[in-house]
């Protein structure tokens, strides 16, 4: 029993560790594979992790966590989309631990009726004979939109049946809204149907998300009010501006179309194919699922997608007559229409499905790497081996760099990477001994000679690849030591920089040639990171050595005056000149009588000589 609990905890831990830092919804499933909870998240990884990394005050939450056996999720484009999708899924599945929406309450829509003089209003109920835009996850947003529409467009707010016959018969008279300039008097035919229709067309464009005109109007008025020092009124307009800016893109989580659809996203790599399905019922996403196929042969993607569609339709018990796909699968289904959308809501749904299948693929790779940490390293090193044509996998890579200022305090460093990871216990620092002045080539030869002569003497395994921090010149001087002097067969590569001092080329072979790796390739970035590491290591060593040489002073030569005394003296007197000029009474409080007399007598002897 305990072993089983431990196994499923490890499984959940692995899933949580590879969740994306993106907005979406998450579903918790129990041992019977039933959805027991649906939640929304601005950041899926952070939100789901919070359930498992602490004990909760609520007993119900603790019971929920104990019953979780699997986690599914759907990635969306925004927090608002997550809110809408959560609403859909709770209604569809009625999970045990969710607060159920029993009253059927839903999010508001903007309704534009199909009358001679259409009305524009907010509604939660949908009926025939009208166009709907939304839904809006925030009632504040739709209220602001309606308020601004009525400020810009004097459309009617009454519910009168304004047909041409009723108007011609003179059944209605203008009301207060006309007299306060909020209406143009449709009821008395004071505005024609085509003229009124132009306003409705513009309102529809705004409702579709093409609200740049209304945003420009708000921005212009904000600036005017701010210039007139009316900051409170300007802030009120800014709040409206922000609300509309946040709803520039129309959601596809719930659409105004009463459609039943299936949407399939597809992604593949060398060894596997991944297929996601989004099930749309009555215009709302109600289910999402992703599967993986391991490739046996070089099967075409059309054939794999066809197999997946058959399996997923059976698994989800769905039989929609309209299926959205990225390409036509190799299958014929009776009475099914295949759609490959190029734009519009259906294209957005396909993009959302592809986004989810790509995320699933990333998560599977992350989980595989966690179960087998060496897998990624071996794949990377194999690519480098193939690109350079090496006999052996470069499991151990060493890289060298020099550091000096006009030849002073010259040092060098060697960093070692094993299985694509830094092996810091094998890093080495070198003080240049045989070279005078700034000679990088000679310094490099000295260090390489010292490094590999010692390794040969000690019988230490040699590296599979040497990388020089430089181009053809550095490669050649290293080759002279490795091949001509030590008679070793170690491959040598060089990383050359461009005129902006950015690493731009990988060189290999003699004479050196550019290897076909782009700076954006992962293998190139890895090798460049080794170069950066040796550069950092060498610079830090040189900085430390230079710092010590700069703090060396005449005080170091005085017997009885140690490092601590020297620091105290310089801290008090700020310079060696002032220490030299100090009296015995000045020195005694810092050093004591004995050391003070030693120091004072030393400088006194120098002054007399």
Residues 543 and 565 in one domain: no
Which range of residues forms the domain containing residue 519? 389-548
Place of tokens 């080759």: 479
E-assigned strand segments in 343-432:
396-405, 408-418, 421-422, 428-431
Residues 534 and 560 in one domain: no
Q: Give the CA radius of gyration of the chain.
A: 37
The pair of structure tokens assigned to 591 is 């050093």
Residue 228 CB contacts under 8 Å (≥ 6 apart), including other chains: none
> Whole-number mean pLDDT of the chain?
81
Query: What pLDDT, on a 0 to 100 scale, did the predictor assign at position 248?
Result: 52
Query: What pLDDT, on a 0 to 100 scale, did the predictor assign at position 103?
Result: 38
Place of tokens 């020297």: 566
H or E segment at 363?
A: helix 344-371
Cα separation, 205 vs 212, whole angstroms: 10
The reply to whether 378 falls in a domain is no
H or E segment at 344?
A: helix 344-371
Cα separation, 249 vs 78, whole angstroms: 10
User: Is-contact 71 27, C-beta < 8 A?
Assistant: yes
The reply to whether 488 falls in a domain is yes
More confident: 129 or 107: 129
Number of other residues whose CB lies within 10 A of the CB of residue 87: 22
Backbone angles phi, psi at 121, to 5 degrees: -155, 170
In this predicted structure, the answer to whether residue 140 has a pLDDT above a threshold of 90 is no
The reply to whether 299 falls in a domain is yes
List % helix, strand, coil for the chain (3-state, nearest 5). 50, 20, 35
Domain end marker among 369, 400, 434: 369
More confident: 420 or 436: 420
The reply to whether 102 falls in a domain is no
Cα separation, 106 vs 32, whole angstroms: 30
The reply to whether 287 falls in a domain is yes
User: Is-contact 478 468, C-beta < 8 A?
Assistant: yes
User: Is-contact 386 406, C-beta < 8 A?
Assistant: no
In this predicted structure, the answer to whether residue 465 has a pLDDT above a threshold of 90 is yes
Write out the DSSP string of 85-108.
HHHHHHHHH--TTSPP-TT-----
| Confidence band for 204, pLDDT divided at 50, 70 and 90 | confident
Residues 399 and 532 in one domain: yes
| 3-state class (DSSP) for residue 451 | helix
Query: What pLDDT, on a 0 to 100 scale, did the predictor assign at position 322?
Result: 87
348-366 confidence digits (pLDDT tens): 888 888 888 888 888 877 7
Residues 494 and 580 in one domain: no
570-603 confidence digits (pLDDT tens): 777 777 778 888 888 888 888 888 888 888 888 8
User: Is-contact 466 488, C-beta < 8 A?
Assistant: no
Residues 334 and 393 in one domain: no
| Confidence band for 101, pLDDT divided at 50, 70 and 90 | very low
13-56 confidence digits (pLDDT tens): 888 888 888 888 898 988 888 888 888 888 888 888 888 877 77
Mean pLDDT confidence for 325-342: 85
Write out the DSSP string of 41-53.
ESSHHHHHHHHHS
| 3-state class (DSSP) for residue 215 | helix
Residues 597 and 483 in one domain: no
The reply to whether 267 falls in a domain is yes
Mean pLDDT confidence for 406-416: 76
Mean pLDDT confidence for 72-76: 85
State the CATH number of the domain containing residue 55: 3.40.1440.10
Q: Kindly report which listed range (28-32, 243-247, 384-388, 508-512) carries the lowest average pLDDT score.
A: 243-247
With a pLDDT cut of 90, the percent of the chain lying above it is 9
* Pairing mode of beta strands 322-324, 261-268: parallel
More confident: 212 or 587: 587
Residues 188 and 136 in one domain: yes
Place of tokens 């925030």: 138
Residues 80 and 61 in one domain: yes
Cα separation, 313 vs 323, whole angstroms: 11
Residues 401 and 541 in one domain: yes
User: Is-contact 293 275, C-beta < 8 A?
Assistant: yes
Residues 430 and 334 in one domain: no
Cα 292-298-299 angle, rounded to 5 deg: 60
The reply to whether 384 falls in a domain is no
H or E segment at 204?
A: helix 193-207
User: Which has the closest alpha carbon to 132: 348, 194, 124, 280?
Assistant: 124
Query: What is the widest separation between alpha-carbon atoms in the chain?
Result: 127
In this predicted structure, the answer to whether residue 608 has a pLDDT above a threshold of 80 is no
What number of H helices and E strands is found in the chain? 20, 19
Residues 140 and 36 in one domain: no
Domain end marker among 192, 216, 245: 245
Query: What is the signed CA dihedral for 453, 459, 463, 464, rounded to 10 degrees?
Result: 120
E-assigned strand segments in 428-473:
428-431, 465-468
Residues 544 and 558 in one domain: no
In this predicted structure, the answer to whether residue 565 has a pLDDT above a threshold of 70 is yes
State the CATH number of the domain containing residue 440: 3.30.420.340
Place of tokens 């907010």: 122
Number of domains in the chain: 5
Domain end marker among 548, 563, 596: 548
| 3-state class (DSSP) for residue 380 | helix
| Confidence band for 479, pLDDT divided at 50, 70 and 90 | very high
The reply to whether 596 falls in a domain is yes
> Cis (ω within 30 of 0) for the bond into 181?
no
| 3-state class (DSSP) for residue 39 | strand
């Amino acid at each position: 029993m305990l072993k089983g609990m431990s196994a499923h905890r490890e499984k959940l831990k692995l899933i949580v560790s590879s969740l994306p830092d993106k907005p979406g919804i998450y579903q918790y499933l129990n041992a019977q594979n039933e959805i027991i909870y649906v939640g929304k998240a601005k950041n899926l990884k952070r939100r789901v992790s919070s359930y498992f990394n602490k004990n909760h005050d609520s007993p119900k939450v603790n019971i929920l966590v104990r019953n979780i056996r699997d986690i599914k999720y759907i990635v969306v484009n925004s927090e608002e989309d997550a809110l809408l999708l959560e609403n859909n899924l709770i209604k569809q599945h009625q999970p045990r631990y969710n607060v159920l929406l029993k009253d059927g309450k839903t999010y508001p829509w903007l309704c534009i009726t199909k009358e001679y003089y259409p009305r524009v209003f907010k509604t939660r109920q949908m009926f025939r004979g009208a166009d709907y835009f939304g839904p809006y996850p925030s009632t504040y947003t739709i209220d602001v939109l309606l308020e601004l529409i009525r400020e810009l467009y004097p459309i009617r707010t009454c519910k009168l049946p304004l047909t041409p016959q009723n108007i011609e018969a003179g059944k209605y008279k203008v009301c207060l809204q006309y007299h306060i300039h909020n209406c143009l008097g449709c009821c008395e035919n004071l505005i024609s149907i085509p003229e009124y229709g132009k306003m409705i067309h513009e309102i529809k464009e705004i409702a579709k998300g093409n609200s740049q005109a209304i945003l420009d109007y708000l921005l212009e008025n904000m600036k005017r009010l701010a210039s007139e020092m009316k900051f409170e009124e300007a802030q009120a307009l800014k709040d409206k501006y922000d609300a509309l800016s946040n709803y520039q893109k129309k959601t596809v989580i719930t659409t105004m179309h009463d459609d039943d659809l299936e949407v399939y996203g597809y992604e593949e790599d060398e060894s596997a194919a991944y297929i996601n399905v989004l099930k749309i019922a009555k215009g709302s996403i109600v289910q999402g699922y992703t599967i993986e196929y391991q490739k046996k042969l070089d099967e075409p993607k059309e054939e794999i997608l066809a197999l997946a569609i058959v399996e997923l339709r059976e698994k989800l018990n769905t039989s929609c007559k309209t299926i959205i796909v990225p390409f036509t699968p190799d299958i014929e289904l009776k009475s099914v229409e295949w759609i490959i959308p190029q734009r519009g809501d259906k294209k957005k749904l396909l993009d959302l499905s592809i986004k989810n299948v790509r995320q699933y693929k990333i998560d599977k790779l992350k989980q595989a790497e966690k179960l087998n940490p060496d897998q990624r390293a071996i794949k990377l090193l194999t690519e480098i081996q193939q690109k350079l044509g090496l006999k052996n996998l470069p499991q151990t890579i060493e890289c060298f760099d020099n550091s000096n200022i006009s030849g002073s305090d010259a040092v060098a460093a060697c960093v070692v990477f094993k299985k694509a990871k830094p092996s810091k216990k094998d890093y080495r620092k070198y003080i240049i001994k045989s070279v005078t002045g700034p000679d990088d080539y000679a310094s490099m030869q000295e260090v390489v000679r010292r490094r590999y002569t010692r390794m040969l003497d000690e019988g230490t395994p040699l590296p599979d690849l040497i990388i020089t921090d430089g181009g053809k010149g550095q490669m050649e001087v290293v080759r002279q030591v490795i091949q001509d002097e030590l008679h070793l067969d170690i491959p040598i590569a060089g990383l050359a920089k461009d005129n902006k001092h950015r690493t731009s080329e990988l060189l290999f072979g003699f004479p050196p040639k550019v290897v076909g790796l782009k700076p954006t390739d992962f293998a190139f970035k890895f090798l460049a990171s080794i170069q950066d590491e040796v550069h950092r290591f060498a610079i830090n060593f040189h900085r430390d050595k230079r710092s010590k040489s700069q703090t060396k002073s005449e005080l170091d030569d005085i017997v009885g005056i140690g490092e601590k005394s020297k620091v105290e003296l310089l801290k008090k007197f700020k310079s060696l000149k002032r220490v030299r000029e100090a009296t015995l009474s000045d020195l005694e409080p810092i050093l004591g009588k004995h050391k003070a007399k030693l120091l004072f007598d030393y400088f006194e002897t120098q002054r007399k000589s």
